[in-house]
A and B are shown apart, each in its own frame.
Chain A
Amino acid sequence: MTARRVVVVGYGMAGARFADEVRRRDPAGERVALTVVGAEPHPAYNRVLLSAVLAGTMPPSLVGLHGPDWAVETGVDLRVGVGARSVDRVGRTVTLSDESTVEYDALVLATGSRAWVPPVDGLRTESGALAPDVATFRDLDDCAAIIDHARPGAPIAVLGGGLLGLEAARGLLGRGCLVTVVHPVGHLMERQLDPAAGAVLAKTLTDLGIDVRLGRSAAQHVSGDGLKLDDGSHVPAELVVVAAGARAEVGIAESIGLSVRGGIVVDDLLRTSDPRIHAIGDCATHPGTAAGLVQPAWDQATVLADLLTGADPAARYRSTPAVTRLKARGVDLAALGETHAEDAEVITLHDPARGRYAKLVLRDDRVAGAIVLGFPDAAATITEFFDTGAPAPADRLALLLGRANPGGAQPRSPAQLPDDALVCRCNTVTKSRLVEAWRAGATDVPALVAATRATTGCGTCTDSTRAIAEWLATTPERP
């Protein structure tokens, strides 16, 4: 049996993951002969880590997904620094930018997305390239360009108050830059948040030191000076970081007539309108799957590897529940599922003074969506219920509050302790046992210890035993 020739166009997070998943199922390359084509000159790297690189806590050398010998070790024909120029769907060949051609039995498009730059005067030069003090935030080179400008005290404007823009803004703030976020909508992260949550988030970021301008668009960029906004106000900026959204990279797909609606349309087998061509990750559009998150891309890579290696011909990609987490130091935000729900059970907690907001949406006793800002452990628990579909706890408020719920941990005086309260766990000594021992003549701490062995294990009940002795000494009658 000859191996099926699979060509992957795109060596980013989706393409690299797909290659890994294929080799996990077919380590020796007996079933699948893999060719991977990547336009960037680097080996694949983990884009999720770019926020940490931008923040300066992680060196860029650590973002690689694969080592330099990966292709050799795994028997993959890897070609970096070349793009796919055209595809012959009938002859089943891909022509690359270096004029070479590759034959395929199955073609996988994992071309990702690119930053969208709004048509603002001055962001681009006349040649169409970005102005020298304008950067997008998509790849390692963008990261390097931003870091070049990000000296402490430098004014920097971030265009876009979505997930990526806010992560960039937080990272730059951590480097000591003077950061302004300009966002055209009335509240931040409007795709994921409701206005109240957006307002609490804006306040949290403002308190951290970020200047947040809401409902404002950039009207003009003047290199070396900054941005002029649509209300005439001015934002000084030595650098403008554009994080205004992304568009699926669909050039090749459109040129060969595949069905495209925003992204390349795929079904549950991740097939495009040509069944020999597949698409995964940001370049693909699957019904009910949010773009821009890595988890769907990885889930799709797993399913497609099952299908193309034959490991599980019944594998299907249904959807990935969308959970958005903002990775910004000092800000803990999760948004998941339906957050703008009507006609559902909705519990809301609004505590702007402490930067906290929580909204829980339930249907049929299950978590259908949530926005959780400033309650990190509750966010984790709520996400678990959302992911597993398990019935939510009856005590909704406890779920919503997590550790913020002070329940029951009040210190008690010895008199208030119930008789059967366990004072010394190591020796199973209750309050009533201590009281009995006292009344039998053990009327100081050493005598209580000798009679009951309380405190003789780990010793942490020493204080409470002493307190009980003091209470007994000052309490004439049996309480």
Chain B
Amino acid sequence: MRVGGLQLSGMRVGGPEHSGMRVGGPEHGGSTVEARDFPTNRGGLCQKGWTAGALLRTPARLTTPLLRVDGELQPTSWDTALDFVAARLARTRVEHGADAVAVFGGGGLTNEKAYLLGKFARVALGTAQIDYNGRFCMSSAAAAGMRAFGLDRGMPFPIEDLAASDVVVLAGANPAETMPPFMQHLTGKVIVVDPRRTATAERADLHLRPRPGTDLALALGILHAVVADGHFRADYAAERTTGFESVWRIAAAWWPERVERVTGVAARDQREAAALLAGAGNAHILTGRGAEQHANGTDTVGAWINLALALGLPGRPGSGYGCLTGQGNGQGGREHGQKADQLPGYRKIADPAARAHVASVWGVPAESLPGPGRSAYELLDSLGTEGGPRALLVFGSNVVVSAPRSSHIANRLSTLDLLVVADFVLSETAAAADVVFPVTQWAEEGGTMTNLEGRVLLRSPAVPVPDGVRSDLDLLRGLAIRLGQPEHRFPADPEAVFDELRRASQGGPADYSGITYQRLRDGDQLHWPVPSTEHPGTPRVFLDRFAHPDGRARFTPVEHTGPAEPVDDQYPLVATTGRVLQHYQSGAQTRLIAELNDAVPEVFVQVHPDTATRAGLLDGGRALVVSRRGATEALVRCDVTMRLDTVFLPFHFPGAQRANLLTNPALDPHSRMPEFKVCAVRLEAR
């Protein structure tokens, strides 16, 4: 499901037996939603979940393909649209080569769609140019998890473990707004790391408030305090890890008083965090986008993982490190091949053995598979340029709003020969397209999603598909056949796609081969890897060993470098971007729901009253937030809990209200994550 988007199964609608949310049948017009008790949401839903039914009957629903004629999007038939797109794609490929066609996916797509999209790109289009919006979301946590543990499963433990945890650190996560039902799991002490006093921070036992862009230094300071105050688990480090010494050589220079000067977090609070964690029977460290969406996001997550390792948490029953995965299928979406460097089963596309295995499942020669392509921002940045793609297919993403430096990205889109968007409403990106395909949404379609704890969930259709609408799988099949692919290679039935995915993932890190729809229907709780149909699944992945060949986790030396764009006299404030409870992602869906939109109808800039006054702004007035890349018009919302040097904007709004007009596309060298969380700005009165 693309609504709500939070990686809790309570937000993951499927058949009543498989998720925390139940949808009324056709007699209700698919418009009622109930909560049910499920491990992740425990019967809770937030406003996005409760109102998700409204999306099924929104008047803005697309029910016919649209084709741009004389500059206007006009209704057309599926066959006309499919023929048109296939012909243009084929021509582009002949004239400019296979890499002139690109594909952009989404972390909200089901596993089946993500899988088939990756296959479609590599086999039907033959292009290396595919990536997805999860690059803007989960990529730093994924890269850091791979580096430290040899495997990236967001939470390598079941979510129930959190309720028994004595201390949970939320580093750069605001679940009280982004996944409220999750808060029920936090029954022990909570340490929140966030520059803002968020709804989550208000409930924290200890709120650490670093200057934006200094999270890594804070993690080093707490690690220092753990070691200096005698809490380091040397026995665990010796048995289960490598590399502590190289990490300590860096952390040794970051004693809490020095870290205080960089981060603004009191040395005593750093020591208290260390003592709380060390004194806990069970403890967890969880990272969110606040730690991850930086040009050094992978290293920042690595610093939190180093802390977890120094405390001996990962791989210990009842403790651990995890990331809070966002988007409806943020975990599964990063496993099955819509990522530029990846093949199904979390395999590497550059690995010859992985290529041979997947090619054999697909029935194509391994050498026909393209290599790694550009990462999301680089892909969008290259559109229409010399050597860049000239046609783009977008599935489940609204890049005009969600990509960094978004006015530049909109310009790049406008230079394409062909832009095709599959969506169920006319998102800002769809509105700019040459062809729009109306596709199914959450309660209308079947398929699997993998939640934040690596548990695979089956969704069954609850309401009928409106006339004129087809699933993304249908769309891919229609295009593939027109591009000359054999019919059997692109099934449109989710279960058939899943059975193929099982084989393609077999033996890979994210092995789904033992998962079947029937097992899921029977209520089996299956956390991957599930290497055989008799296998009970793996709720806790690292109990015996980590996934590196030597079985050990790796401490990784990481150093504080600070934001890519420091403040200066011209741009003296730090802008950080994020979410509000009522909206999801680019807001294309939630802005259509009156209850949600009335609560937060437009973008605002949250700012300390002193800072507003100095910029000549009044609470409730209008401001122009200006960075080197653009300006955003926003309502001024004064808040005495804000740092004086920091302003916050949510990114859910379109047009001149896009927070991403400001953001800095500096990329993380490992994950290619853009720096959404810090850029230098100034405030001007409107």
A residues lining the B interface (CB < 8 Å): 46, 48-49, 52, 56-58, 62-67, 295, 323, 325, 327, 332, 376-377, 379-381, 383-384, 387-388, 390-391, 393-395, 425-428, 453, 456-460
In the bound complex, CA of A295 to CA of B254 (Å)? 11
Shortest C-beta distance, B11 to chain A (Å), equals 11
Q: Does B183 contact A (CB under 8 A)?
A: yes
A388-B260 in contact (CB<8A): no
Shortest C-beta distance, B307 to chain A (Å), equals 16
Report B-chain residues with C-beta under 8 Å of the C-beta of A459: 42, 44, 181, 183-184
Interface size for B (C-beta < 8 A) is: 50
A428-B599 in contact (CB<8A): yes
- Our pick among B229, B614, B645 for the contact of A52 (Cβ within 8 Å) is B229
- Our pick among A58, A379, A456 for the contact of B50 (Cβ within 8 Å) is A456
In the bound complex, CA of A381 to CA of B263 (Å)? 10
Q: Closest A-chain residue to B186, C-beta based?
A: A458
Shortest C-beta distance, B364 to chain A (Å), equals 44
Report A-chain residues with C-beta under 8 Å of the C-beta of B258: 295
Shortest C-beta distance, A155 to chain B (Å), equals 25
In the bound complex, CA of A458 to CA of B181 (Å)? 4
In the bound complex, CA of A56 to CA of B230 (Å)? 8
- Our pick among B43, B47, B176, B253 for the contact of A453 (Cβ within 8 Å) is B47
Q: Which of B126-185 contact A (CB under 8 A)?
A: 176-177, 180-184
B residues lining the A interface (CB < 8 Å): 35, 42-47, 50, 176-177, 180-184, 199, 203, 211, 227-230, 245-246, 248-249, 252-253, 255, 257-258, 260-261, 264-269, 572, 581-582, 595, 599, 608, 610, 613-614, 644-645
In the bound complex, CA of A257 to CA of B65 (Å)? 87
In the bound complex, CA of A380 to CA of B260 (Å)? 6
In the bound complex, CA of A91 to CA of B363 (Å)? 76
A376-B266 in contact (CB<8A): yes
Report A-chain residues with C-beta under 8 Å of the C-beta of B182: 458
A428-B582 in contact (CB<8A): yes
In the bound complex, CA of A390 to CA of B246 (Å)? 36
A323-B249 in contact (CB<8A): no
Report A-chain residues with C-beta under 8 Å of the C-beta of B227: 58, 62
Shortest C-beta distance, A162 to chain B (Å), equals 16
Please judge, given known A-B contacts A57-B229, A377-B266, A377-B269, whether A456 and B44 are in contact too, CB under 8 Å: yes
A457-B229 in contact (CB<8A): no
Report A-chain residues with C-beta under 8 Å of the C-beta of B614: 391
Shortest C-beta distance, B517 to chain A (Å), equals 30
B47-A381 in contact (CB<8A): no
B180-A380 in contact (CB<8A): no
B269-A376 in contact (CB<8A): yes
In the bound complex, CA of A395 to CA of B181 (Å)? 37
In the bound complex, CA of A67 to CA of B243 (Å)? 12
B268-A426 in contact (CB<8A): no
Report A-chain residues with C-beta under 8 Å of the C-beta of B176: 425-426, 458
Q: Closest A-chain residue to B582, C-beta based?
A: A428
**Can you list 13 contacts pairing A with B, beta carbon distance less than 8 Å?**
A46-B253, A52-B229, A62-B252, A65-B253, A376-B267, A380-B265, A381-B264, A391-B614, A393-B610, A427-B50, A428-B581, A456-B43, A456-B44
Shortest C-beta distance, B212 to chain A (Å), equals 13
In the bound complex, CA of A427 to CA of B176 (Å)? 11
Report A-chain residues with C-beta under 8 Å of the C-beta of B183: 457-460
A380-B264 in contact (CB<8A): yes
Q: Closest A-chain residue to B598, C-beta based?
A: A428
In the bound complex, CA of A149 to CA of B174 (Å)? 50
In the bound complex, CA of A427 to CA of B582 (Å)? 8
For chain B, what secondary structure do more than half of its interface residues adopt (helix, strand, loop), or is it mixed? Answer: helix
A-B contact count (CB 8 A): 127
For chain A, what secondary structure do more than half of its interface residues adopt (helix, strand, loop), or is it mixed? Answer: loop
Report A-chain residues with C-beta under 8 Å of the C-beta of B181: 426, 457-459
Report B-chain residues with C-beta under 8 Å of the C-beta of A391: 610, 614, 644
* Most B Cβ at <10 Å: residue of A46, A64, A384: A384
Give the 7 A-B residue pairs with the shortest CB-CB distance, closest first. Answer: A458-B183, A457-B180, A376-B268, A426-B180, A57-B230, A458-B180, A325-B257
Report A-chain residues with C-beta under 8 Å of the C-beta of B599: 428
Please judge, given known A-B contacts A52-B229, A457-B180, whether A388 and B645 are in contact too, CB under 8 Å: yes
Shortest C-beta distance, A14 to chain B (Å), equals 13
A384-B211 in contact (CB<8A): yes
In the bound complex, CA of A35 to CA of B211 (Å)? 39
Please judge, given known A-B contacts A67-B245, A458-B176, whether A453 and B228 are in contact too, CB under 8 Å: no
Report B-chain residues with C-beta under 8 Å of the C-beta of A384: 211, 261, 264
Shortest C-beta distance, A261 to chain B (Å), equals 29
B50-A453 in contact (CB<8A): yes
A52-B228 in contact (CB<8A): yes
Shortest C-beta distance, B206 to chain A (Å), equals 11
- Our pick among B50, B248, B255, B610 for the contact of A62 (Cβ within 8 Å) is B248
Q: Closest A-chain residue to B49, C-beta based?
A: A457
B47-A428 in contact (CB<8A): yes
Report B-chain residues with C-beta under 8 Å of the C-beta of A379: 260, 266
- Our pick among A56, A393, A457 for the contact of B644 (Cβ within 8 Å) is A393
* Most B Cβ at <10 Å: residue of A376, A383, A425, A427: A427
A66-B252 in contact (CB<8A): no
In the bound complex, CA of A387 to CA of B441 (Å)? 52
A457-B45 in contact (CB<8A): yes
B610-A64 in contact (CB<8A): no
Shortest C-beta distance, A295 to chain B (Å), equals 7
Shortest C-beta distance, B537 to chain A (Å), equals 28
A327-B257 in contact (CB<8A): yes
In the bound complex, CA of A325 to CA of B264 (Å)? 14
Please judge, given known A-B contacts A323-B261, A425-B176, A425-B581, whether A458 and B184 are in contact too, CB under 8 Å: yes
A426-B581 in contact (CB<8A): yes
Please judge, given known A-B contacts A58-B228, A383-B260, A425-B180, whether A456 and B268 are in contact too, CB under 8 Å: no
In the bound complex, CA of A49 to CA of B261 (Å)? 17
Report B-chain residues with C-beta under 8 Å of the C-beta of A387: 261
Q: Closest A-chain residue to B259, C-beta based?
A: A380
In the bound complex, CA of A460 to CA of B258 (Å)? 37
B228-A57 in contact (CB<8A): yes
A-B contacts besides A56-B230, A426-B44, 7 pairs, CB < 8 Å = A58-B230, A332-B266, A380-B260, A383-B264, A395-B610, A457-B44, A457-B46
Q: Closest B-chain residue to A387, C-beta based?
A: B261
In the bound complex, CA of A453 to CA of B258 (Å)? 47
In the bound complex, CA of A5 to CA of B138 (Å)? 47
Shortest C-beta distance, A21 to chain B (Å), equals 12
Report B-chain residues with C-beta under 8 Å of the C-beta of A332: 266-268
Q: Closest A-chain residue to B271, C-beta based?
A: A329
Report A-chain residues with C-beta under 8 Å of the C-beta of B177: 425
Shortest C-beta distance, A78 to chain B (Å), equals 16
In the bound complex, CA of A306 to CA of B223 (Å)? 30
In the bound complex, CA of A323 to CA of B46 (Å)? 46
In the bound complex, CA of A428 to CA of B182 (Å)? 17
Shortest C-beta distance, B413 to chain A (Å), equals 34
B610-A63 in contact (CB<8A): no
Report B-chain residues with C-beta under 8 Å of the C-beta of A327: 255, 257, 267
Please judge, given known A-B contacts A426-B581, A453-B50, whether A380 and B44 are in contact too, CB under 8 Å: no
In the bound complex, CA of A426 to CA of B245 (Å)? 45
Shortest C-beta distance, A109 to chain B (Å), equals 22
A48-B645 in contact (CB<8A): no
Please judge, given known A-B contacts A67-B245, A457-B46, whether A394 and B645 are in contact too, CB under 8 Å: no
In the bound complex, CA of A62 to CA of B255 (Å)? 13
Report B-chain residues with C-beta under 8 Å of the C-beta of A62: 227, 248, 252
Please judge, given known A-B contacts A332-B268, A380-B264, A460-B183, whether A49 and B255 are in contact too, CB under 8 Å: yes
In the bound complex, CA of A46 to CA of B246 (Å)? 15
A325-B267 in contact (CB<8A): yes
Report A-chain residues with C-beta under 8 Å of the C-beta of B572: 390
Report B-chain residues with C-beta under 8 Å of the C-beta of A295: 258, 261
- Our pick among B47, B257, B644 for the contact of A427 (Cβ within 8 Å) is B47
Shortest C-beta distance, B563 to chain A (Å), equals 14
* Most A Cβ at <10 Å: residue of B44, B50, B644: B644
Report B-chain residues with C-beta under 8 Å of the C-beta of A425: 176-177, 180, 199, 581
